[in-house]
Amino acid sequence: MANNPKRLGSGANAGRRNVSAELGLGWSVEVRTAARGATLALRHAQHAGMEVEIVITAEGPLIRTRAAALQLSALGRLSARCESFEVEASTAIALRAPHVEICAAEQVSAVSKRISMAATHGNVQLKANDDVQLLGEQILLNCEREPPLPAWLAPSKVGVELAPRQTGGDELLLQEKLRAP
C-alpha cells in the first residue's frame, strides 16, 4: 500500500468508503471515509482495546488513542497549547520535578476531602495582597488537636470560671479591664 498509494473515491477505489491493510505482528490499518471527513485507524487483532485513530473533521484533525500505557518523551521541552486541558485519572496523579510552578491569571482552586502540604526542608510562605482568611471548626497553630474526653467522663453541666490571673496574660492589664465600666 505504501509503494502504490491510491486515492479513496477515485480510479479502482471509486465508490469504496473503506480501505484496510495488514501491517504484521497483529496490527492493521484502516481508512474509512465519510461525507464530512475520514478516519485512519491503527488496530491490533488480539487487543481490541488498543488502537490509534486520526479522525479528519470539518473542525480539523482529532487524535484518539486507547492503549495499555501511553508514554511521551522529549529531549527538551514538551508543550501543550489548547483552549482547555483536562486529565481524569481513576487512582492518582503525580507530578515530580525539582521545581513545580502553577500560575493562573485569575484563580487557583483545590477541592478535596482532605488537603495536606508539607515543607520537609524549609518554610511555608503564604502571601496575599489582601486578607488571609482561615475558616474551620478549629484553627490549630503550633499544637495538636486535644484528644476527646473518654465517653465515661461526662462533661460538666456547671460553668467554671477561673480567676483572671489563672487564665494567662498580663495580670495588671486583666484587672484594669475587669474594673472598666
Whether 48 shows a pLDDT value over 80: the answer reads: no
pTM exceeds 0.85 for this model: no
Beta strand ranges found along the chain (DSSP E): 18-24, 27-34, 37-44, 51-57, 60-66
Residues of the domain holding 32: 18-68
Sign of CA dihedral 97, 99, 104, 109: positive
Report the pLDDT averaged over residues 65-85. Answer: 89
pLDDT of amino acid 143 = 83
Radius of gyration of the chain (CA): 33
| pLDDT surpassing 80 at residue 177 | no
What pLDDT score was predicted for residue 133? Answer: 92
Q: Which residue has the higher pLDDT, 19 or 149?
A: 19
Alpha-carbon distance of 19 to 14, in angstroms, equals 12
pLDDT tens for 119-141 read 999 999 999 999 999 998 888 88
Tally of structural domains, the chain: 1
What is the CA angle 116-117-123, rounded to 5?
A: 155
**pLDDT in the model for residue 112:** 95
Average pLDDT, rounded, for the chain: 81
Cα atoms found within 13 Å of the Cα of residue 57, Cβ hemisphere only = 8
pLDDT interval class at 151 (50, 70, 90): confident
pLDDT of residue 88: 94
CB count in 10 Å sphere of residue 61:
11
Q: What are the φ/ψ torsions at residue 52 (nearest 5 degrees)? A: -130, 130
pLDDT at 156: 65
Q: Is residue 55 part of a domain?
A: yes
- Give dist(CA 56, CA 38) in Å, integer: 5
Q: How many helices (H) and strands (E) does the chain have?
A: 1, 5
Give the separation between CA 55 and CA 36, rounded to whole angstroms: 10
- Asked if residue 34 belongs to a domain, the reply is yes
Take residue 94 and report the three cell numbers written for it.
503525580
Q: Judge whether 134 lies within some domain.
A: no
**Does the residue 99 lie in any domain?**
no
What is the predicted pLDDT for the residue at 9? 47
What integer pLDDT is reported at residue 164 of this predicted model? 53
Residue 125 within any structural domain of the chain: no
- Convert the pLDDT of each residue in 1-42 to its tens digit: 444 444 444 444 445 578 989 988 888 888 988 887 888 888
Spatial distance between the Cα atoms of 103 and 79, rounded to a whole number of angstroms? 15
Written in H, E and C, the secondary structure of 20-37 is EEEEECCEEEEEEEECCE
Q: Is 96 exposed, middle or buried (0-12, 13-18, 19+ CB in 10 A)?
A: exposed
Residue 167 within any structural domain of the chain: no
In a domain, 150, yes or no: no
Lowest mean pLDDT, pick from 50-59, 73-82, 114-123: 50-59
In a domain, 100, yes or no: no
122: which DSSP letter? S
